[in-house]
Structure formats: C-alpha cells, structure tokens
Amino acid sequence: MQSNPQNLKSNIRQALLDERLQAAVKKATDHSLAKRAEVVAELPHWEALREEAARRRDHVLAHLDQYLLELEEKAQAKGIQVHWVADAEEANRIIAEICTRAASGSGATPTMERVVVGAQHASPLPNGTHPLVVKSKSMTTEEIGLTPYLENQGFEVVETDLGEYIVQIAGQMPSHITAPALHLSRQEVGKIFAEKLGVEYQEDPVELIAIARRILREKFMKADVGITGVNFAVAETGTPLMVENEGNGRLVSAIPRVQISVMGIEKVVATWEDLMILLELLPRSATGQRITGSVIFFNDRLPDADGPREMHLVILDNGRSKALADPELRSILRCIRCGACLNVCPVYRHTGGHAYGWVYPGPIGAVLAPIFLNLEKAADHPFASTLCGACSEICPVKIELHHHLLTLRDRIGQSKGTFNKERLLMTSFEGLMDRPDLFRLLAGMPRFLLHDLLGGKWKPNLPIWNDGRETPEMAPKSFSELFRRDFGSGGEAEK
C-alpha cells in the first residue's frame, strides 16, 4: 500500500483483498469498543459530560488567540521556551536546531559544527556516533514528518511507544491514532523483531515486550533529547501534559537533558476544571480505561546534577487556523484524538489505517485530510464513508463528523465545475419526483424489459456496482402492484 493520500481508492481495493489485515483490525477494534462500552456505562452522566466538553472546547476555540497567549505567558514565566511554527517545514527546522544545540553539548551557544543542518545524509559526530533523540508517541510529529527529517539531519531517532517502535523498525506508518501496530499479528511482530533486531524468533507478546524494553532502556539512558506530544495544555498555569500507559512518556520527559513537546494550536484548554472533564472522556474513549497508566504534567523540568535542564514547547498551526476560519468545519478542532471514530467506522474496520495514505485515518482523518492537505490532494477522503453517523455518535466531544464529510463532499462536487454527472442526475431525479405518473412509467421500464420482454434471460452488467455483487433477478410484480393487490386503494395514498 502506498503512503500517499491520492492512492486512497487503489489502497482500499488492495486492503479489501487482505483477509488477514481485516481480521486483525476487526479483532482489535472490537476489543477497544467492548472495553470502551464497559467504562462508559459506569458513568450515568456520560452524555452530559460530552455536552459540557463540547461546550468548553468551543469556548476555547472562540477565544483561541487569548488562551494561547495566556499559555505562552504562563509557560515562559517558569522557564519553558515557546516556539510558534506556521507549518511542518518550520516546525522541523526549529526542532532540528534545538536538537543540534543539545547534541553539541551546550544548550547556550548554538553551534552547527557537529551536525550540518540541511544535510541530506546522516552526519555523525566526529566520534562516529549519531546524536540520539528518543520520542514518545505523538501524532503531531507524525503529521509534520519529524522523524525522517531529523534522520536526514544525522540524528538517530527512536520511537519508544512499543506499537510505534514496532512500526518504525518495520518501516511502516502507524495505522491507528492510539494503537499504531494494531494491523500486525504477534507472528508478524516476531518476524520483524527477528529480522530487524537480530533476536531469536518468538511470538509471545510478554517476551517481545521484554526485548523492546531492554533495548529501549539503553536508548533512554543515552538520549540527548526527548520529544513528546501534548494531549492538552492548560492555559491558566501554562501546563502542557500528556497521557500514556507504558511509562515511556515519563522516561522521555525525565531523563534527557533537553525536552521538546509539540502541540497543535487547538490543544489548549482554559482551566484545570476543563481538563478534569476531558480526562474523564479521553482514556475511556481511546483505550477503554478509566484513566491511563500515567498523566504527566510538564511544568518545566527538575534540575539534574549539572544544573537546570531545558524544556521547549512548540506550538504548531499547519492548517488549523484555516479550519478555525471555516464556520462549517470549525468544530473539527474540538478533536482530542481518541481514535474512537476509527474503531466504530465500517470503512476503517474493513481497510485499516494504511489505506488512507496519510497520518490520520478513519472519519477524523477523512475530514482533516482535505483541510490540512487541500481539496485536490485528498479529494477521495470524504467519500470513504458510508455516512452512517456512528463516528458522530461515539465522538466524546460531539463532533458531527458525518456532517463535515457531507460538507466536504459538496465542496469537492462544486469545485469540479458546473457540468457534473452527479449534479445532472440529481436535477433530473428531482424533476422526475414531481411527476408521479412519469416516475411510475420509468421505474417500471427495467422490470418490463428484463422480466416481461426478455423473460430474465439477460442481466445488465452495471459498472462498479457489479464489482462486488451480482445483479438480482427481477421480481415478477413491482412493490406497488403487490401493495395495491393486498391493501387495495391504500397503495394510492401517495396521490
């Protein structure tokens, strides 16, 4: 499958032929949904919580500049260095600069001697080693392509979330927002470990995780920089925070001398009270937990024996302010990246995440792709949905995802120009619906032709529709004929 959003259709076709993939995705998403249902049922006021969370998220979005400025001021007051970045290119460049300074051993004076910024190939330190960056899982850094960028600059970049580590060494993208390796079976993970890490093949998850723990513990100890995502950032105290289960986020933020945390502009929340509500919703929706194994609050960093240590907060726009300016789509910025809409989506459940060819799969990704990438590059994404609305129903912050998908479909339709087959068809259909006699005549034609005239000996081959189904036999009588026969004039009620 190709990691290109423009390959959506061919990727989907490929995924639909992969029964093993579908079984793995179904098993994992069913598991997540069952666990979620259990912990949601514990809270009788779940619906009220969703309402309240949506209201508070909307409030922050409506005053976003004000809350971001408050976050910046409070964060700077305690020594966090704040960087505003407009797009992926700027984000990567600034993060690479911070990493370069960190690896040169001095946070104070920037030096480009050891790592050449802009180099296309890995540039090791004079002693032959590569400066080491450890990362805890962050979809935002996936979005900006940070890891390949830093690798090009000569850094060794290690993902430390176990799922993310597995897909990294396998050379793949995460296939789910909260469960990056959900598409892989234990046998496949075993093979990847044997092949890439040179360990003996085994498929017991406990053993595989013990191997990863041992390898990654070494990396934590030696890392120059730790990079984390940010689940929320509380404006009133300037506190970014993250939730995680494995303890890797704790290690990434405790050990390396320099920490960089990357957040989208929409991750800011006004108060700790807002945060408490979101912390009820996020773990339950994401992993079916009442709370995650750790919630880590980044209020600057504790000094080590060598003195104070650095903390950087990178605030990224990258298309988000575009969504903010769009009244019809703005509420997409409420998203807290729980991934519940993926688990429940009939399309995602059949294709997995890689088919989307982009970092955010599922319904949330199908809405974000046309906004973040533009309508042309992701013109098929809003159509990768049955519009069943399950995503909107499960969303903990009540984003009307299926409405957003419809809005985007409409815009894509409009952008295709005035002559559009679909538009012509719909206008004709509208005219037909105004003339019941003509409608009945035309609707009866196929049955008359195929059943009465040809006696069912020939069936039309309908493009696309017949790819996955057979044309059914025509019934000898139409529904309205049967209805009139059995219920008399009731069938004429439509007149």
- Taking the least distance from each CB to other proteins, the nearer of 247 and 444 is 247
Residue 335 neighbours by CB distance under 10 Å: 23
Q: Which residue, 8 or 220, is less far from other proteins as judged by CB?
A: 220
Smallest distance, Å, CB 232 to other proteins?
A: 13
State which residue, 169 or 384, has the beta carbon closest to other proteins: 169
Q: Smallest distance from the beta carbon of 275 to other proteins, in angstroms?
A: 8
Phi, psi of 364 (to 5 degrees): -60, -40
Contact 36, 288 (CB under 8 A): yes
Nearer to other proteins, 300 or 481 (CB): 300
Burial track 275-288 (b if 16+ CB lie within 10 A, e otherwise): bebbbbbbbbbbbb
Question: What is the four-CA torsion angle of 273, 274, 275, 276, rounded to 10 degrees?
Answer: 50
Contact 238, 73 (CB under 8 A): yes
CB of 316 to other proteins, least distance (A): 9
Q: Which one, 159 or 380, has the nearer CB to other proteins?
A: 159
* Cβ 341 to other proteins shortest distance, Å: 18
Which is nearer to other proteins, 250 or 459 (by Cβ)? 250
Closer of 46 and 483 to other proteins (Cβ): 46
Kindly state the smallest distance separating residue 122's Cβ from other proteins, in Å: 26
CB of 86 to other proteins, least distance (A): 4
Q: Are strands 156-159 and 81-85 parallel, antiparallel or unpaired?
A: unpaired
Nearer to other proteins by C-beta: 220 or 356? 220
- Token pair 């982009």 is at which residue? 358
Residue 161 or 380: the one with the smaller Cβ distance to other proteins is 161
Q: State the SS3 of 388-414.
A: CCHHHHHCCCCCCHHHHHHHHHHHHHH
User: At 264, is the secondary structure helix, strand, or coil?
Assistant: strand
- Amino acid type, 444: G
Let me know if 10 is exposed, middle or buried by CB neighbors in 10 A (0-12, 13-18, 19+).
middle
Least gap, CB of 224 to other proteins (angstroms): 14
Q: Which is nearer to other proteins, 325 or 464 (CB)?
A: 325
The span from the CA of 180 to the CA of 194, in Å, is 20
Alpha-carbon distances, residue 401 vs 22, 277, 351, 390, 392 (angstroms): 23, 21, 19, 9, 5
CB of 40 to other proteins, least distance (A): 15
Shortest distance in whole angstroms from residue 63 CB to other proteins: 7
In three-state form (DSSP H/G/I as H, E/B as E, the rest C), the secondary structure along 226-263 is EEEECCEEEHHHCEEEEEECCCHHHHHHHCCCEEEEEE
Shortest Å, Cβ 71 to other proteins:
11
Strands 232-234 and 239-244: antiparallel
Minimum CB distance to other proteins, residue 305 (Å): 7
CA distance 174 to 365: 13
> How near is the Cβ of 174 to other proteins at its closest, in Å?
11
**Cα separation, 140 vs 230, whole angstroms:** 9
Which CB, 214 or 477, lies closer to other proteins?
214
86, 181, 223, 313 from 157: Cα distances, Å: 23, 18, 9, 19
Q: Tell me whether residue 108 or residue 325 sits nearer to other proteins (CB atom).
A: 325
Is beta strand 239-244 parallel, antiparallel or unpaired with respect to 294-297? antiparallel
